[in-house]
Structure 1
Amino acid sequence: MECAAKGLVEEPCAGSAHRRCGSCGAVAYCSKDHQFIHWRVHKEECARLSTQMSRIDTLSQFPFTFSIESLALDHTVPSTRCLFLESIKVHLKGLWKSECICGPEISFVKDLSITAEWNLESSLCPCTEPENPVPEPLASWEDYYRWRSLPLHSPVALLLHWPLTLYHCLQLSHIQTSRYDEHSTLRIHYLGPEKELLQLTVFAELHALFPGVHLHIELVGPAVPRSRDGEVVNISSYAHCSVENCDCRSSTASKDLNCSALTLKLWKGFYHERYGDMDSNPHLILAPNAGVAAYPSWMPTIEMIREIGIPAMFTDFCEEAAHLASCCIRSITGQPLGVPIQVNPFRQPIAENNSALYIPCYSNCFVFGM
């Protein structure tokens, strides 16, 4: 944990930041002097952070029975995620490679493989078509696991939070997916992908979530490898399980999946720079874990989104990041959020470390929209 006064003081910190604010408990300091100096900044946010800290228990509530030694606010155990992946025997395997700190750097990966596997038994992963059509709407991980006939000790939610968050954002945007079929296309612009670039196969679950719908998703961001700029990827089958004789490996497994039913296209660069190169206007813009307030490059992107008038949804790791993002969006557009900040029921069920705050953080934790 970094001292909250870092950057405001000239003298170096006096050691580790172990002195937490007695009111909110969200920030920490290396010394009493640094805490005193930082108060002129912190007094404006202390009550807000205290409210956010009160939601720790709510955000950590998941229906799953797999054991994660998460300690959501323990910043001294950087390998917690790796240890969990090792405990379920998927560490650095298949789709799980980028889920830990020792995974590959996306910028150095030349092959964004769409053939990676779940490395789980068939009973633990959605490797084939669902038994029944999706009920409308899915509102929680319990709903999804029940529909997909998955046991609550299956860890697939750690990866499926990407397509399920997209599903949830479409629901919040009131976009009627029933209007789109093989004769028309539902177009999504997906901003700032990072880990997802090494987990593209999990988006096959959109076949099950939107049966009969032709989805075209254009992923644009600086993390896209230059060698893959402009590449088109067709997802025509679900990721395979580890069972050799499972139906997911048969030649007829994808017979009901039109090879063009889910098309991904990759673009390197910022959205406001590449929008003119992209195929056509989207029905929805989605920016997962956006960090709007942290990166100045968002300013021209937000302005462009305002001008084109397309519904845009954002997610972020913590409530404070979402709050700061909403302030930025309001300052640029002059308008309040169209979809207020709210908890994403399909957030990833394993805590992320935050080097600056003790507030709870999960991938895709909070969702909001223009």
Structure 2
Amino acid sequence: MECAAKGSGRTRCTGAATRPCARCGAVAYCSLSHQIEHWSSHKHECDRLEQQMESVHLLNDFPFTFSQEATVQICLKQETRCSFLSKRGIHQKGMWMIECRCGESSASFDCLRLNNSWDLPRNLYPCYAPESQIPVQLHSWSDYYNWRCIPLDSPAALLLHWPLTIYHAAQLVGIGTLNPEVCDKLYLHYLGPEKELLQLDVFGELQALFPGVHIHIELVGPAIPPQRDGEKISISRYASSNEDQSTCKSASENAILSTQSGITSAVTLQLWHGLYHDRYRDIVKDSSPHLVIAPNGGIAAYPSWLPSIELIEKLDVPAVFTDYCEEACHLAASCIENVISRSFRLPVQVNPFRQPIAVEDSVLLLPCYSNCFVFGISAASSMVVTR
């Protein structure tokens, strides 16, 4: 962890940040002098961070058998992401390639969908359609795992947090329940994809989460390779393992693939290189969005978000954002509120479908998880469900 005063002090850092703030415990310093120098800035956030630290037990609360290992032990550096994945035989394999630092350094977004397998035993992931209709609403990982008949020792949630966060965002803004215009088609604008570009096949689970609905997702961001700009990808099957594809195919033939009306779900993706406000006119030639979603947006950290937020404001559609910790969401919400003129009716709240493994070496001592917190703005004409 870096010293909270790094770059702002009059002297260089003297070493590791081993002096936590005695009040909030969320930031640390390399020396007493840096801590004293930084107080003029930190005092404005200290109380807020102290309140956020009180939610640590809630953020670490998952139903999985590996929860302690993936949360507390990683935060305390008793475990690493690499060791967690290695124990399960999935280190640098398939869609897991990007889930650790050594994988991040060797992965290339030029190779989208080349490593698209689970590399898990078939009973540990959803490679076929559900055996029963989706409940009225899923509220937790326990609900989802029980519905999809996956044991709680399965690490599949580490990848499934992408489609489940989309599902949760749609539920929060009333899509599928309170928006009658969304019947058999759902158009999403998905901003700033990065890691998920090497895990695209996991979005096939949206077929189960939105039965009978054709889902079209426009993925827009600088991380998309320029040579893949405009490319369309159709996901007609659930992601499977290289070893078990025939078994999964057989199982899917006997499972429930469609709604009572007989309409089969489908997922299509289209890739767009660049920033949302620059590419919007190209994108909407095919579809206008029902929902804009920006996972792990880092809105407060990147000034390039400002014109995109201004565009979303003009579109008058619901927009949902996520980030790694509550503080990042608080700062992002402040940025957004300075731009929008309509209601900010989806307050910052914990995402029940956040990725259940802690981020290593985060800037704050707050536990950080991918898609950890969710917040958003509503369309003037839509009703937002808050919790």
Q: TM-score range by the shorter chain?
A: over 0.9
Distance 1:115 1:30 in 2: 41
Q: Secondary structure at the match of 1:102?
A: helix
Residues 1:277 and 2:282 are matched in the alignment = yes
Q: In structure 2, what is the equivalent of residue 352 of structure 1?
A: 359
Residues 1:127 and 2:127 are matched in the alignment = yes
Question: Deviation of residue 93 (structure 1)?
Answer: 1.0
Q: In structure 2, what is the equivalent of residue 30 of structure 1?
A: 30
Change (3 A) 1:147 1:250: closer
Distance 1:159 1:68 in 2: 18
Q: In structure 1, what is the equivalent of residue 188 of structure 2?
A: 188
Q: In structure 2, what is the equivalent of residue 160 of structure 1?
A: 160
Residues 1:343 and 2:350 are matched in the alignment = yes
Q: In structure 1, what is the equivalent of residue 308 of structure 2?
A: 301
**Any conservation in 1 of the 2:122–2:244 contact (CA below 8 Å)?**
no
**Any conservation in 1 of the 2:73–2:79 contact (CA below 8 Å)?**
no
Question: Deviation of residue 331 (structure 1)?
Answer: 0.9
Q: In structure 2, what is the equivalent of residue 60 of structure 1?
A: 60
Question: Deviation of residue 76 (structure 1)?
Answer: 7.4
Amino acid at match of 1:359: L
Change (3 A) 1:73 1:269: farther
Distance 1:106 1:234 in 2: 26
Question: Deviation of residue 332 (structure 1)?
Answer: 1.3
Change (3 A) 1:76 1:61: closer
**Any conservation in 1 of the 2:109–2:223 contact (CA below 8 Å)?**
no
Q: Secondary structure at the match of 2:84?
A: helix
Amino acid at match of 1:37: E
Distance 1:236 1:327 in 2: 40
Residues 1:368 and 2:375 are matched in the alignment = yes
> After superposition, what is the alpha-carbon deviation per residue over 1:237-258, rounded to whole angstroms, capped at 9, x for unaligned?
0111365475324597499588
> After superposition, what is the alpha-carbon deviation per residue over 1:243-301, rounded to whole angstroms, capped at 9, x for unaligned?
54753245974995889821100001010111111022100000000111000001001
**Any conservation in 2 of the 1:20–1:28 contact (CA below 8 Å)?**
yes
Amino acid at match of 1:64: F
Distance 1:301 1:311 in 2: 14
> After superposition, what is the alpha-carbon deviation per residue over 1:136-192, rounded to whole angstroms, capped at 9, x for unaligned?
1000000000100111111100000000000000000101267545xx521000000
Q: TM-score scaled by structure 1? A: 0.93
**Any conservation in 2 of the 1:106–1:198 contact (CA below 8 Å)?**
no
Q: In structure 1, what is the equivalent of residue 211 of structure 2?
A: 211
Distance 1:31 1:114 in 2: 47
Q: How does 1:188-337 map to 2 (within 5 A)?
A: 188-241=188-241, 243-244=243-244, 246-250=246-250, 253=253, 256=257, 261-278=266-283, 279-335=286-342, 337=344
Question: Deviation of residue 14 (structure 1)?
Answer: 1.6
Distance 2:144 2:112 in 1: 27
Distance 1:76 1:272 in 2: 40
**Any conservation in 1 of the 2:188–2:291 contact (CA below 8 Å)?**
yes
Distance 2:106 2:201 in 1: 16
**Any conservation in 2 of the 1:120–1:241 contact (CA below 8 Å)?**
yes
Amino acid at match of 2:116: A
Change (3 A) 1:73 1:367: farther
Q: TM-score scaled by structure 2? A: 0.89
Aligned residues: 368
Question: Deviation of residue 354 (structure 1)?
Answer: 4.4
Change (3 A) 1:254 1:230: farther
Distance 1:245 1:168 in 2: 29
Change (3 A) 1:254 1:66: same
Distance 2:200 2:245 in 1: 24
Q: How does 1:31-110 map to 2 (within 5 A)?
A: 31-66=31-66, 69-70=69-70, 72=72, 77=77, 80-104=80-104, 108-110=108-110
Unaligned runs of 5+ in 2: 378-387
Amino acid at match of 2:331: L
**Any conservation in 2 of the 1:118–1:241 contact (CA below 8 Å)?**
yes
Q: In structure 1, what is the equivalent of residue 382 of structure 2?
A: none
Question: Deviation of residue 104 (structure 1)?
Answer: 4.4
Question: Deviation of residue 124 (structure 1)?
Answer: 0.9
Q: Secondary structure at the match of 1:69?
A: helix
Aligned residues: CA RMSD: 2.4
Distance 1:107 1:87 in 2: 21
Distance 1:298 1:221 in 2: 11
Distance 1:197 1:254 in 2: 30
Distance 1:229 1:291 in 2: 23
Question: Deviation of residue 111 (structure 1)?
Answer: 2.3
Distance 1:259 1:120 in 2: 27
Question: Deviation of residue 119 (structure 1)?
Answer: 1.1
Distance 1:233 1:106 in 2: 24
Q: Secondary structure at the match of 1:265?
A: strand
> After superposition, what is the alpha-carbon deviation per residue over 1:200-224, rounded to whole angstroms, capped at 9, x for unaligned?
0100000111111011000000110
Q: Secondary structure at the match of 1:129?
A: coil
Which segment is superposed worse, 242-251 or 108-117? Answer: 242-251
Question: Deviation of residue 337 (structure 1)?
Answer: 2.0
